[in-house]
Amino acid sequence: MKFTPSETKIIMNKIILFTAATLLSANISYTCWFDDSEAHYPFFNKESLSDPTMLLFTDYSAGLGLGYSENASEPADGNIKDWLNHLEGAVSDNDLVDLIYKLEREELAKILKDDKLLSSLAANNTVYKLWTTDPKKKKSMGNYLLFAKKCEVEAVKGREYWEEEGNDRNISSLKKMMEEGLTIAKKEKVEFYKQRYAFQAIRAAFYMNDNNTVLKLFNEHFPKGSKENYIYFRALEFKAGAHKRKGDAEAPYLYAKVFQNCPDRRNVCLNSFSFTSEEDWDKSISLCKNNEEKAVYYALRALQPNSNLIEELENIANIAPSSPLLEMLTARQIGKMQEMAFPRYADAAGRFPLNDIENSNELKRLKLLMKTMSENKTIKNNGFWLLAAGYSELMSRNTEDAIKIFSSIPAVSEYKKQANVMTFVAKICAVKQIDVAIADNLWNEHRSSPLLKENVDLTEFMQDAFSMFYIKQGDKARAYLTYHGLYAMRGRLDIGLLDALDFYFNSKINKGEYDRFLIEERCGSLPDAMNELAELRGVYYLQRNNLDKAIAEFEKTDINYRKQSTNFNSKYLDKSIWYESVIHPYFEFELEDQSVNFLFKKYDFLYQDYNLLSYTKALKMLEEKAKSDPSKTGEYHYLLGLAWYNTGVQGWHRPAIYLSESNEGNYTWWSADDKEEEMKLYKGYDWISDRFYTPDIAAYYFESAIKNTSDKELKAKALYQLAKVEKTRDLSQLSDSWAENLTYSKRFYECFNELKTNLSNTAYYKDVLRECYDFQVYVNQ
Amino acid sequence: MTQLNSVLLFICLLFFFAACKNNTAPADIAFYHWKANINIGTEEMKYLDDLAVKKLYLRFFDVHLDQESKTAIPISQLQWKYFDLGRNLEIVPVIYITNITLEKNEYDVGTDSLAKNIAEKLRAMILKMDRVRFTVKEIQIDCDWSLETQAKYFRLLEQLRRYMPEIKTLSATIRLHQIKYFTTTGVPPVDRGVLMFYNMGAVIKPTEKNSILNLQTAKEYLENFDIYPLSLDVALPLFSWAVQFREDKIIQLINDISEADLIKNENFQSLGANKFKVLNSSYLKGIYIYKNDIIRLESVKSEDLTESINILKKAFGKKRFNLIFYHLDDYVVKCFNTETLKKLANY
């Protein structure tokens, strides 16, 4: 469905961001409307503006309050500042805020009337303390605030969003307030209060929609030559509003004036500043008295959604290169570009800056402009412009020029620290191919400088950049270790990576400082790494029933590791792994309570404590026994089948071979052989959610047991267990506890059929019929 | 007896031809009105009369998520000044709800209170407009729900029906993919659906020729019309817009732009194939556009509409559908004569 104009704006904002993400293949979050520096590296620190009141606009967008950055500091309340000036610092701003904005009118009236009450409050309040010593001030302040609070009640009236009627402002009340304000203003001698009473009257007229009266009152009470103080601009804003309602060209001019001079009213003015034609624009801008005023026009246009910021920057730089607005807009422009140049979590193998930004026309223009600005020594705050110029070069991949510019910033400059950080970023960006020496140089420089080392973003950036190099260069081991410890691999063992890590740890390849960091940080020490890797490799082979290779790997671990490692000696590697049951237990207490038959009681060679090595050897032993004694093949293969089922997706012992970390485990399992861009796995891949599982191993042993036994009870057991295995083939069905009309493999039904048709006289058949709902349904259909 | 047989035969033939006539009766034509300020002048009224339009789908307000309070609020409310519709036209209030509003709403409490708010506001607005002669029997909800918001949206619809028992018909807009994949996307619990047969192209792609009516893309979605559980009408586009690009990235959509606005304008240079380059930064229909921006003009031609009908006829098979044109304004009255639209309805 087509959108209204305002809705189009909102939706287009999102389309733009979606476009950036899809067309530029980068993970960019909603950063055009507010600075989510979580999604990119914010090397250009916007807080370096010389006018901190402009900070809000480095990422604010006009219209519907979108993009208001929760992180940006709001300008100080100009009203409070004005009061503090008037009171010559005799009160604290907190007390003033409480008095003006929080205290109810009735409470204020009580305090003003009751001296005793006032005295008691004065001990903890600087305003009341002042009132006890200066009754004149108490009277004028108190009277004004009583009046203002009365006006405020009417001013803030308005409908809730969903209301169609009600709570509209009362015109006759507003009229009374206006008249009262004007009467008092006439008599009031203190200019500070005189203007404020007039302001309230103007405001009341505005809310009465009496535009002509607004203009008249403004001209009377704030005539030409009036001091352009805070209250003047607050009143001017209402004058602008009245002109806007009348469609006058003065409206944008006045809003621009308020924007320029009243920091806490800027976003209101921005939202009210609009044109629909060239004619309107020309008419309005012709009211500007000088280029500084015109610059505000361009800035306000630049702050509209969909503006071409660089063009407006150029417009301002051409006429008013010293305008303070240029810094804010430059910070805004750079902020926008660095989202593309330095995204976090970029799914790319390459080099920063990303997204082909060096070819952007916008960046080319910015670079040119920043060069001009930084070379103009008449412009204040040269450090800022040098920083911006250097950063533009950096984003353009001219790292040498960038470093040169950063180094030209004087050491005493407040921008030097940022420059030093950016110099380091430039050095990283200058790298085309990484090797041990380059990694070490950068790493050592980073480590030896507190400025660099303590910069969390920079550290992360460096690792991000390194990892992208390693991915591109096919260095799997280092690419992986940049982000992960060995433990993270458990969910998805990959032989290519395991081999790469093996080579990395074991070989005499050149390892530098950065490597030492990786190994220590991720693995503890090299011996620890090698032990853990051997375990992982062993489990990889064990999962695939390649027992000889598994044993060879496990035997590489040292004795202490085998004793101390909780995974090598997992509680799931228990003799209870050899059990048979009709219904599988999910939890330990079920294992104890249910009708589980522990087979180590029957086969005493199974009665032992296990670790990965001894367990694998036990499996091997059973294989060999099955081979050497054909009369027992069925029996031993049945045991093997049980072990594989019990360490499978439905078995309680599955964590023994890394299939789950808990019994409430993740059932999203699929083969590690799925084709993917292999190297991307090592960057940000979620290792936990994809695990290796195949039912074929357990199925093989049960099939063999069925084939190789003449014992009907054993056959019945093997058939039923095989059916259970077959049930695990479609894991998506298993995970959906509400699924109806489940269907299983053909073999599943064959097993049930054979059990029903040929083995119904066995004791096991009766157990199954009693305990298994699926089988009951099958038999009774 | 022979005479009786003749009479009976005659009566049967009469019914037969009447049935045949019903099967080929032209589809009803209706219009959407989507602007915030309602402005239906005499020209538009004449247009509606000529087309025998009985229904006007009037957008009453949108529901969007307020960024600061993170609550659902009504925006772009219809600004109603008294006007005389001249005759009994059925008004169908339409409420557009953004998907993100549903995303951020809680399933039960949030959705229920939103439904209540919508119902109460609608009722209050309708009451205010009561001076004009029109009836409200149906309301329509427009929302391009996603898999994530499906449950909330469907609940909202159910609750809305509960809060507005006076409404006889609740309808909802449906997109093409929501028919093709209806077993996944679900079917909203409403009485009727309106298939939005437009905006199926990739508007953000610089290489897209016309995102309003990309029939190639549309054809890929023409499945399951025969088994879709809701009765459907079809909304067809009559609008145009300009898609503004800067360095191959989409900037915004500009409504109500026609070729005439650009072709003899010294600020624009034609690049052929409905594209224009901005030569001088300037205002275009109240929007400031910049030098070197590219404008892609998209509009709908009668031939495209005819082809759309042909495609839809095949997809719908024996099922009939009425037409709702998006949307009523002076551009449409100028560019699409009533004969063209009547031909479309006579499919």
Which residue, chain included where needed, has tokens 């599943």?
A: A748
Domain boundary among A238, A272, A306: A272
**Candidates B120, B244, B250; nearest CB to A19:** B250
Which residue, chain included where needed, has tokens 């006759």?
A: A172
Q: What 3-state DSSP class applies to A69?
A: coil
The verdict on A93 and A172 lying in the same domain is yes
**Candidates B144, B255, B288; nearest CB to A8:** B255
Largest CA distance in chain B: 88
CB–CB of B142 and A306 under 8 A? no
Q: How far apart are CA A346 and CA A425, in angstroms?
A: 16
In a domain, A134, yes or no: yes
- A773 inside 8 A of chain B by CB: no
- In the prediction, which pLDDT does A671 show? 27
B61, closest residue in chain A (CA to CA):
A4
Binned at pLDDT 50, 70 and 90, residue A76 comes out as confident
Q: How far apart are CA A479 and CA A344, in angstroms?
A: 16
- In the prediction, which pLDDT does A664 show? 36
Omega before A5 cis (within 30°)?
Answer: no
**Residues of A whose CB is below 8 A from B212:** none
Interior/surface letters B302-338, b for 16+ CB within 10 angstroms, e for the rest: bebbeebbeebeebbeeebbbbbbbbbbebbbebbeb
Q: Which of A162, A271, A313, A314 to mutate to test the interface with B (most CBs of B within 10 A)?
A: A162
Backbone angle region of A651, left / alpha / beta, with phi > 0 → left and psi within -120 to 50 → alpha: beta
CA count, 13 A, side-chain hemisphere, A644: 33
- A645 inside 8 A of chain B by CB: no
**Residues of B whose CB is below 8 A from A12:** 250-253
The verdict on A46 and A171 lying in the same domain is no
Residue A181 sits at φ, ψ, to 5 deg, of -60, -40
CB–CB of B125 and A164 under 8 A? yes
Task: Name the A residues in 67-86 with CB < 8 Å from any B CB.
Answer: 67-68
Nearby residues of B197 by Cβ (< 8 Å), 6 or more positions away = B176, B213, B218, B234, B235, B236, B237, B308, B312
CB–CB of A308 and B120 under 8 A? no
Q: Is residue A686 packed enough to be buried (19+ CB in 10 Å), middle (13-18) or exposed (0-12)?
A: exposed
The verdict on A167 and A107 lying in the same domain is yes
Mean pLDDT of A589-602: 81
Mean pLDDT of A517-529: 91
The verdict on A102 and A137 lying in the same domain is yes
**Single-letter code of the amino acid located at A533:** L
Q: What 3-state DSSP class applies to A480?
A: helix
Nearby residues of A43 by Cβ (< 8 Å), 6 or more positions away = A338, A342, A391, A418, A421, A422, A425, A457, A458, A461
B68, closest residue in chain A (CA to CA):
A65
- Closest CA of chain B from A230, distance in Å: 27
The verdict on A41 and A81 lying in the same domain is no
Question: How many contacts (CB atoms, under 8 Å) link A and B?
Answer: 111
Q: How far apart are CA B198 and CA B304, in angstroms?
A: 11
Average predicted confidence (pLDDT) for chain B: 88
Q: Per-residue pLDDT for A779 more than 50?
A: yes
- In the prediction, which pLDDT does A106 show? 96
A312, closest residue in chain B (CA to CA):
B290
**Candidates B248, B251, B282; nearest CB to A16:** B251
**CB of A571 within 8 A of CB of A647?**
no
Q: How far apart are CA A479 and CA A496, in angstroms?
A: 13
**Single-letter code of the amino acid located at A725:** V
Cα dihedral A580→A586→A587→A588 (10° resolution) = 20
How many helical (H) and strand (E) elements, i.e. helices and strands, does chain B have? 12, 17
Which residue, chain included where needed, has tokens 């809310």?
A: A207
Omega before B327 cis (within 30°)?
Answer: yes
Q: Which domain holds residue A28?
A: 5-58
Task: Name the A residues in 360-379 with CB < 8 Å from any B CB.
Answer: 360-362
**CB of A479 within 8 A of CB of A695?**
no
| Count of CB atoms situated within 10 Å of the CB of A159 | 11
- Closest CA of chain A from B94, distance in Å: 11
In a domain, A615, yes or no: no
**CB of A200 within 8 A of CB of A177?**
yes
Domain ranges of chain B: 27-239+300-345, 240-298
| Count of CB atoms situated within 10 Å of the CB of A602 | 12
**CB of A534 within 8 A of CB of A554?**
yes
- In the prediction, which pLDDT does A21 show? 35
The verdict on A135 and A21 lying in the same domain is no
Domain count, chain A: 3
Q: Which of B61, B64, B67 to mutate to test the interface with A (most CBs of A within 10 A)?
A: B67
Which residue, chain included where needed, has tokens 């004087």?
A: A410
Binned at pLDDT 50, 70 and 90, residue A676 comes out as very low
- In the prediction, which pLDDT does A4 show? 46
**Single-letter code of the amino acid located at A697:** I
CB–CB of B249 and A19 under 8 A? yes
DSSP-assigned letter for residue A99: I
Mean pLDDT of A316-338: 94
CB–CB of A19 and B125 under 8 A? no
Q: How far is CA A487 from CA A612, A652, A657, in A?
A: 16, 21, 13
Q: How far apart are CA A100 and CA B159, in angstroms?
A: 44
% of residues, chain A, pLDDT over 90 = 65
The verdict on A194 and A264 lying in the same domain is yes
**CB of B202 within 8 A of CB of B298?**
no
**Residues of A whose CB is below 8 A from B286:** 275-277
The verdict on A202 and A104 lying in the same domain is yes
The CATH number covering residue A223 comes to: 1.25.40
CB–CB of A162 and B250 under 8 A? no
Which residue, chain included where needed, has tokens 């019929």?
A: A769
- A167 inside 8 A of chain B by CB: no
In a domain, A130, yes or no: yes
- In the prediction, which pLDDT does A493 show? 85
DSSP assignment of B164-216 equals -TT-SEEEEEE-THHHHTHHHH---SSSEEEEE-S--S-TT-TT-S-SS--HH
Cα–Cα–Cα angle for A402, A406, A408, rounded to 5 degrees: 120
In a domain, A132, yes or no: yes
Domain boundary among A241, A272, A303: A272
**Residues of B whose CB is below 8 A from A298:** none
Q: Residues A359-391: pLDDT tens digits?
A: 999 999 999 999 999 999 999 899 999 999 999
- Closest CA of chain B from A163, distance in Å: 7
CB–CB of A7 and B62 under 8 A? yes
pTM: 0.81
The verdict on A728 and A760 lying in the same domain is yes
- In the prediction, which pLDDT does B136 show? 84
Q: Per-residue pLDDT for A24 more than 90?
A: no
Please tell me the class of the B27-239+300-345 domain.
Answer: alpha beta
Cα–Cα–Cα angle for B216, B218, B222, rounded to 5 degrees: 120
Strand order, beta sheet including B241-246: B249-255, B241-246, B294-298, B275-278, B268-272
In a domain, A695, yes or no: no
Mean pLDDT of A514-529: 91
> Computed from CA positions of residues B129, B131, B133, B137, in that sequence, does the dihedral angle turn out positive or negative?
positive
B100, closest residue in chain A (CA to CA):
A11
- In the prediction, which pLDDT does A237 show? 98
**Candidates A2, A161, A165; nearest CB to B73:** A161
Binned at pLDDT 50, 70 and 90, residue B66 comes out as confident
Domain boundary among A234, A257, A272: A272
The verdict on A179 and A36 lying in the same domain is no
Q: Per-residue pLDDT for A6 more than 70?
A: no
| Count of CB atoms situated within 10 Å of the CB of B218 | 19
Mean pLDDT of A181-196: 96
- A318 inside 8 A of chain B by CB: no
In a domain, A648, yes or no: no
Binned at pLDDT 50, 70 and 90, residue B134 comes out as low
| ipTM reported for the complex, 2 dp | 0.83
The verdict on A50 and A78 lying in the same domain is no
| Count of CB atoms situated within 10 Å of the CB of A471 | 24
- In the prediction, which pLDDT does A49 show? 86
Nearby residues of B254 by Cβ (< 8 Å), 6 or more positions away = B241, B242, B243, B244, B284, B285, B287, B289, B295
Q: What 3-state DSSP class applies to B251?
A: strand
- In the prediction, which pLDDT does A165 show? 72
